[in-house]
Structure 1
Amino acid sequence: MNTCKTALRVIWAHKFYFLLYLVGMSFIMIIIGSTSMQAAVHANASSSVGRFEPAQAKIAVINRDYGSHVGRELGQGLEQYLSKSAQSVRVDDEPQALQDANVSGKSDLTVIIPAGYGQRFLEALENTATQDQTGGKAPAFPKVETAASYNSSRGSLAQLQVDGYFNGLRTASLAGLGQDGSMQQSVTVIKNIDAGVIKDAAAYTVAHYASNQPQVKVHASPKDDDGTLSGGFATTVSLAAYPLMTALTVCVAILFGAFSSTDRHRRLLASPVRPSSLNGQELMAALILASISWAYYVAVTAVSMTTMGVSLASLGWGKVLLSFFAMLIFTVSAAAFGFMLSQFNPSSSLINSVGVTFGLVVMFTSGAGSSGTLPPAMQTIGKLTPGWWYNSAVKSIMDSSPAGSSSWGLSLALVMLFALTYVCVGLMVSRLTRTHSSMDASTSSDPSMIG
């Protein structure tokens, strides 16, 4: 196990790359993913349960009969009545201001109580009561002046509420109904119709506003997730392609590069440890690094989902675990690419350049962070990298049931095939490099070649 420990110390000596490419880039990817996830959360919350909220009209009440006690009680009752379903606005009692309010949309309906309206309303009540006793025709009640805005239909609907208030007020006044709903004798009320009766009738009308309105009931059932949350989670998981590919390419390439130089390789071959054991311990160190990277990104993803108020259980544990398994397969593929790169004996700066460049190519051509369809050229390039198939697998997992493996199984198989291809290419390059190195060494030490 000394070789494995030495390999881990090599990784620790280059921990800056690990922190920069994995930890640093993962935060950027999580922030990008959280943007789409938050949008999905808001869309899902707004469409989860239907709720009916009637539009509120903006109504301006101009009381020009405020000087009389009856007119004041009528106007205050009207404002309280309308405030239950409309928004009250203030408009100056000037011709220009009233016209501007209707034209500009400041008010949907302007109600004007003309001067002397309260007295005429009382007289109409008394005449109505007298006609009811004698059996004559009831006189018409005075009308308030209204002006509805032509910019909205809410003003016309609010005018019906104004009529409902005065109809309710007339009925309550004749019946002698107060706010508590008590009724007096009609004859007594008829003889004593005054501002106090109007005040009690207005209070009754306002208090029983709900019973005067049509009943609207909304039957709504919770709406199932329409795929917005699943799509946001798939995007977050797919964005792991860039930090995992970059970090593991650089770190694994540096790890194997530390053991693949000619001098170190000769010293390892001269040791009593079998080459298969040395190679196995190096591979174990690379797998430990890949496992740590995978576990870290899974934890970061889970924490980010919890922070945004999304329960992984609500997405389906089968889909979530399969998505994390797909991430594990992609992690192995990224480590395999790092192994292949190390067999070309590149310099440290070249390893970083290749890792960052290939990571960007994988991210931009995989379609993980794109809201639309990629251009055909980018799709062609993406299909030549494991990132495209990793993204396809994750989206297929979240879009389908875990039992139906036909949609995502092929994509995961291709990701594993990429990993196997990288390993085979790396082993081939390693064998060619070491064979050429051995031939050079034997040629330089041949006595027949001297002098």
Structure 2
Amino acid sequence: MHTFKTTLKILLAQRLMILIYVVWLCLMMFGLSWSIIAGLAKSDNSTTFDSARPEVAVVSRDVHGEAFGDALRGFLGKDCDLVDVGTTSEELQTAAASNYADLIVIVPDGYTQRLADALADGGEEPQLDVVVSFTGAYGSLARLQVDDFLRLTRLKALARQSATGAATTPATLGDAATQVVATLADDADAYPAIHVADDPKAASDRQESARVAYVTTVKMGVYPLLAAMLVCTALTMTSFAESNVRRRLYASPQRTGAMVIQEFAGCALFGVVVSLLYWAASLALPALAGLPIDGVPLPTILYSGASLVSYALIAVAAGFMISMLSANAVAVNAIANVFGLLIMFTSGMAFPVDMMPKVMIAIGKLLPGWWFCQSVDAVNGVDGRVDAGAWLSCNGLVLLFGVAFICLGLAFSKLRRNRPDLSTPGATQLAEA
């Protein structure tokens, strides 16, 4: 028990490593997770709807078609935002090249006269000059509205021509276009407003966001927990391997195996505490973002918490293995970061599994991070389903990695005991007086 308490004192004395690997590294992962959680918290639009309004410019060059151009602007202004792009060729080219508007409609000079002549004798109708934005579909949708305006104006002009028998002129064409806008303005059903009914699944949408946020945060612990526990455990247990300490330990009546077990137990306790704190933070982040925690199924919370604890224990086992090599602090930090990053990028946490090449997946399955993430996915609570069998098998594989690390560490320890490297001289040297 004395060795256990000493291990905890040595472990807690490593304030710099705890600050860097436990505090700072976990905060960095929480920062990444928060950016995802904040997006999930804002993405719920189950009960709101904002209609997109394309930006449209109407340029009229027809000196006899001012009424027609004004009517076209009035028609489009109901569902579009009208912008000014100028009238000169240079200004229009600049607007088109810079994609300033979603749609530019140009009424050419003499357009209303040619359209009136076409309606009078049944000839081919002239076309407006249009420039549609190349970056989205809003311009194409606005162009459909322009076609509707032309169709309604043509019908209105033909109805007047049929009723009066008089030929259509640019003036009467402008009157017909103005009447179209006025008629639609008086018709309440012409521009129906969109009413959004309350979605009975709106609450479940936010609950689903909370579940995704929690599971994502838990899986992000694959790197900080491994790196933190590996470094802290390795440095703590390596301090017992210093020459003077080893010489006193070998001279003590306590068995070496019992001391090693107490050292490992002290580091394991620290790993369990850190993993539980990480687990609590994973629950707190969605709540801080305003997402309902009750959206995360209770089995998901409990099973994933157990996965974090088991993963922290195999990280402690990895640190025990490294400590048996008597590596210095620089080597321990290098091993922790390289091994941790390798596990992070091959575990399926950093990238979706369907986007990972087969080589990365094969490497990931040879490392504990893959099976940790798989255990969390098995109980992620999609549609309330929890696969306890898959979770148990994945965590069993994770713990087997821990057993393998411990066995390798014991093998390294035995080699070191068989070939002790104590700093004392081979024989006592008498000092000369």
TM-score range, shorter chain: 0.5 to 0.7
CA distance, structure 2, for counterparts of residue 24 and residue 356 of structure 1: 14
CA distance, structure 1, for counterparts of residue 339 and residue 414 of structure 2: 25
Aligned residue for 2:20? Answer: 20
Aligned residue for 2:223? Answer: 242
CA distance, structure 2, for counterparts of residue 344 and residue 98 of structure 1: 74
Structure 1 residues 257 and 156: alpha-carbon distance in aligned structure 2, compared to 1, 3 A threshold = closer
Shift of 1:275: 6.6
CA distance, structure 2, for counterparts of residue 112 and residue 352 of structure 1: 73
Aligned residue for 1:191? Answer: none
2:357 corresponds to 1:379: no
Match of 1:316 among 293, 297, 301: 297
Aligned residue for 1:45? Answer: 44
CA distance, structure 1, for counterparts of residue 83 and residue 385 of structure 2: 57
Aligned residue for 1:88? Answer: 82
Shift of 1:392: 1.7
Q: Which runs of 5+ in 2 are unaligned?
A: 114-125, 133-139, 157-178, 428-433
Aligned residues: 384
Aligned residue for 1:130? Answer: none
Shift of 1:100: 7.0
CA distance, structure 1, for counterparts of residue 205 and residue 368 of structure 2: 30
Match of 1:394 among 358, 369, 376: 376
Contact 2:314 2:401 in 1 (8 A): yes
Contact 1:339 1:426 in 2 (8 A): yes
Shift of 1:328: 1.3
Shift of 1:243: 1.9
2:296 corresponds to 1:335: no
Shift of 1:411: 0.9
1:71-107 per-residue CA deviation (whole Å, 9 max, x = no partner) reads 99x987875565322333447678x699979998955
Worse-matched range after superposition: 253-262 or 154-163: 154-163
Structure of greater Rg = 1
2:427 corresponds to 1:426: no
Q: TM-score, normalised by structure 1?
A: 0.64
Shift of 1:338: 1.1
Shift of 1:404: 2.0
Task: Please give the secondary structure, in 1, of the residue aligned with 2:56.
Answer: strand
Give, as a single letter, the amino acid of the residue that structure 2 aligns with 1:149. Answer: V
Match of 1:154 among 139, 142, 159: 142
Match of 1:58 among 56, 59, 74: 56
Matches within 5 A, 1:52-201: 53=51, 56=54, 58=56, 60=58, 82-90=76-84, 107-109=103-105, 147=128, 149=130, 151=132, 152=140, 154-158=142-146, 160-161=148-149
1:336-373 per-residue CA deviation (whole Å, 9 max, x = no partner) reads 11112222333333333332332233223323212454
1:268-325 per-residue CA deviation (whole Å, 9 max, x = no partner) reads 4655777777555434421232133213433443454445554443343432332232
Q: Which runs of 5+ in 1 are unaligned?
A: 118-144, 169-200, 446-451
Give, as a single letter, the amino acid of the residue that structure 2 aligns with 1:247. Answer: A
Contact 1:56 1:86 in 2 (8 A): yes
Contact 2:3 2:263 in 1 (8 A): yes
2:193 corresponds to 1:212: no
CA distance, structure 1, for counterparts of residue 53 and residue 402 of structure 2: 59
Structure 1 residues 159 and 347: alpha-carbon distance in aligned structure 2, compared to 1, 3 A threshold = closer
Q: Provide the alpha-carbon RMSD of the alignment.
A: 5.2
CA distance, structure 1, for counterparts of residue 339 and residue 91 of structure 2: 68
Aligned residue for 1:174? Answer: none
Give, as a single letter, the amino acid of the residue that structure 2 aligns with 1:8. Answer: L
Structure 1 residues 102 and 370: alpha-carbon distance in aligned structure 2, compared to 1, 3 A threshold = closer
Shift of 1:234: 3.9
Aligned residue for 1:184? Answer: none
Shift of 1:413: 0.8
Contact 1:394 1:408 in 2 (8 A): yes
Shift of 1:409: 2.0
Contact 2:210 2:295 in 1 (8 A): no
CA distance, structure 1, for counterparts of residue 246 and residue 59 of structure 2: 94
Aligned residue for 1:198? Answer: none
Task: Please give the secondary structure, in 2, of the residue aligned with 1:255.
Answer: helix
Structure 1 residues 157 and 360: alpha-carbon distance in aligned structure 2, compared to 1, 3 A threshold = closer
Structure 1 residues 241 and 403: alpha-carbon distance in aligned structure 2, compared to 1, 3 A threshold = closer
Contact 2:364 2:370 in 1 (8 A): yes
2:389 corresponds to 1:406: yes
Residue identity (%): 24
